[in-house]
């Protein structure tokens, strides 16, 4: 027999924040004909059309109208390959609006159906359009940020976790082989957590939603010739349709090992179906939320044959704490080849796919250097009852699972591909396997545990400061 004795439960208070916020968006769809070879197996080089438009969406948050803001941006882009291109966009925002770099996170949704954002591809077919596209992205981001700041107003931000089975494990032991290949592994469980943030005004109207979910946007692959935000576009459209047009900000989670079960296609209908799966899960989470500033409290018993425990809604005061830290984490590197050695391999290689791998390796070497380790930044913010953790690499889902386990009292949003991109951060036990996420990355087996430990220390300090 189970033991049901114990004290009366405490109030069930959702993670919430009382703050000022504003959101705005600009379209950043690139021109048809731009270089868009995102897959080594692709037969074509340029975008031949548009499936759905691409956007830059910016959320401004602050303790008050006269307090320093936080700017959180999500852009429908793939990933950065050069720090110079990334800084051209983010640096333009920081310098143009005189912002504190510790208070700016610019995340990519990581679509694999976007255009190149690397100026070194300018000599490729359609590469002459990349420079203008980067300028367009920069201008759109700055415009959206200015508008978001102008829209700052008092709000309540409320968070809740849910589930969506779109994300599946993508580390599959090769049937009949010795490798671990990148595709759906039905035998391995996946972190299918979706975290939803709801921003409401004083009248309880939804002004914006945030969706933090870990799943590679790789529905559309080498057969696709269209620009697309992948599943993110349909998810966003569905959520906005059912929230009276309130903008939805998508934040890619720690998705190093997660992707849709059905992917690698040219079928845009499948990308939209994947997006609707996530969108309906988000709407289910929104339906589960109490009104802003309300919690559940135990209200006593009603005798009605059975003794009925009654829970009632009551008001509470959400936290108004807003804090931001940028930390540098020393991540160990594997023994790496010299850049000139990799370049010589490129010159002797006639395989187009292998040449692309080597070209990307050169760019990674430039980012991390040649020492035993490199310092990688992470951005950690506390906003009321939520914590945002942003970092540039493609971390495995263990990053978000561990941080949420260690800090269950707050909502923890973990973001990959923030303010740059470099390599994968995979669990130590995978580093003895022949797997892309290990051999692609410059980081050694202790890197992911080191990042988790550093983030845990900083989150703990921010929560202590806010008490």
Residues 240 and 382 in one domain: no
Contact 446, 431 (CB under 8 A): no
Answer whether residue 301 is part of any domain.
no
Residues 255 and 138 in one domain: yes
Residues 284 and 386 in one domain: no
Strand 322-332, strand 373-383: pairing: antiparallel
* Last residue in a domain, options 264, 288, 312: 288
Residues 216 and 338 in one domain: no
| pTM for the whole structure | 0.95
Q: Tally the domains of the chain.
A: 2
Residues 258 and 348 in one domain: no
Answer whether residue 299 is part of any domain.
no
Q: Phi and psi for 342 in degrees, rounded to 5?
A: -65, -35
Contact 257, 169 (CB under 8 A): yes
Answer whether residue 237 is part of any domain.
yes
Q: Which residues contact 430 (CB under 8 A, 6 or more apart)?
A: 171, 180, 437, 438
Find the domain containing 392 and state its range. Answer: 322-465
Answer whether residue 29 is part of any domain.
yes
Residues 277 and 347 in one domain: no
Answer whether residue 107 is part of any domain.
yes
Residues 367 and 431 in one domain: yes
| Residue corresponding to tokens 């999500």 | 74
Residues 333 and 278 in one domain: no
Residues 281 and 328 in one domain: no
Residues 208 and 99 in one domain: yes
* Last residue in a domain, options 262, 288, 314: 288
Residues 373 and 429 in one domain: yes
Answer whether residue 3 is part of any domain.
no
Cα separation of 272 and 111, whole Å?
13
Answer whether residue 312 is part of any domain.
no
With vertex at residue 98, the alpha carbon angle to CA 93 and CA 102, rounded to the nearest 5 degrees, is 75
Answer whether residue 266 is part of any domain.
yes
Residues 282 and 338 in one domain: no
* Last residue in a domain, options 237, 269, 288: 288
pLDDT, tens digit only, all 467 positions of the chain: 556 666 766 899 999 999 999 999 999 999 999 999 999 899 999 999 999 999 999 999 999 989 999 999 999 999 999 999 999 999 999 999 999 999 999 999 999 999 999 999 999 999 999 999 999 999 999 999 999 999 999 999 999 999 999 999 999 999 999 999 999 999 999 999 999 999 999 999 999 999 999 999 999 999 999 999 999 999 999 999 999 999 999 999 999 999 999 999 999 999 999 999 999 999 999 999 999 999 999 999 999 999 999 999 999 999 999 999 999 999 999 987 777 776 777 777 777 667 677 677 767 777 888 789 999 999 999 999 999 999 999 999 999 999 999 999 999 999 999 999 999 999 999 999 999 999 989 999 999 999 999 999 999 999 999 66
């Amino acid at each position: 027999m189970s033991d049901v004795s114990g004290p009366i439960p405490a109030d069930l208070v959702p993670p919430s924040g009382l703050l000022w916020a504003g959101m705005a968006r600009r379209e950043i769809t690139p021109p048809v004909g731009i270089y868009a070879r995102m897959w080594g197996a692709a037969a074509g080089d340029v975008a031949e059309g548009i499936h759905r438009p691409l956007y830059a969406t910016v959320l401004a948050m602050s303790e008050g109208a006269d307090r320093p803001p936080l700017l959180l941006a999500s852009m429908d882009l793939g990933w950065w390959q050069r720090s110079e291109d990334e800084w051209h966009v983010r640096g333009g925002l920081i310098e143009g609006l005189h912002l504190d770099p510790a208070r700016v996170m610019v995340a990519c949704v990581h679509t694999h159906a976007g255009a190149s954002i690397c100026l070194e591809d300018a000599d490729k077919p359609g590469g002459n359009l990349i420079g203008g596209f980067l300028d367009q992205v920069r201008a759109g981001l700055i415009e959206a940020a200015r508008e978001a700041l102008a829209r700052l107003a008092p709000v309540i931000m409320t968070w809740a976790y849910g589930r969506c089975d779109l994300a599946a494990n993508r580390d599959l032991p090769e049937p009949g082989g010795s490798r671990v290949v990148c595709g759906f592994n039905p035998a391995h469980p996946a972190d299918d957590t979706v975290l939803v943030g709801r921003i409401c005004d004083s009248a309880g109207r939804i002004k914006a939603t945030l969706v933090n979910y870990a799943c590679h946007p790789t529905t559309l692959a080498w057969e696709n010739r269209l620009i697309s935000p992948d599943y993110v576009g349909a998810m966003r459209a569905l959520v906005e349709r059912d929230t009276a047009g309130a903008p939805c900000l998508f934040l890619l989670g720690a998705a190093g090992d997660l992707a849709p079960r059905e992917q690698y296609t040219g079928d845009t209908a499948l990308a939209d179906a994947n997006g609707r799966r996530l969108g309906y899960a988000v709407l289910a989470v929104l339906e589960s939320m109490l009104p802003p500033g309300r919690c559940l409290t135990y209200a006593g018993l009603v005798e009605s044959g059975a003794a009925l425990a009654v829970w009632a809604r009551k008001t509470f005061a959400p936290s108004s704490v807003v804090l931001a830290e940028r930390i540098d984490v020393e991540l160990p590197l594997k023994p790496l080849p010299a850049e000139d050695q990799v370049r010589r391999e490129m010159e002797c290689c006639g395989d187009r796919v292998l040449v692309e791998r080597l070209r990307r390796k050169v760019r990674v070497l430039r980012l991390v250097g040649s020492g035993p380790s490199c310092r990688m930044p992470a951005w950690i913010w506390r906003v009321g009852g939520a914590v945002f953790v942003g970092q540039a690499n493609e971390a495995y889902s263990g990053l978000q699972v561990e941080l949420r386990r260690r800090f269950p009292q707050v909502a923890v949003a973990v973001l990959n591909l923030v303010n740059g991109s470099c390599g994968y951060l995979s669990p130590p036990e995978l580093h003895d396997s022949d797997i892309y996420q290990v051999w692609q990355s410059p980081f050694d087996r202790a890197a992911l545990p080191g990042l988790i430990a550093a983030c845990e220390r900083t989150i703990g300090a921010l929560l202590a400061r806010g008490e």
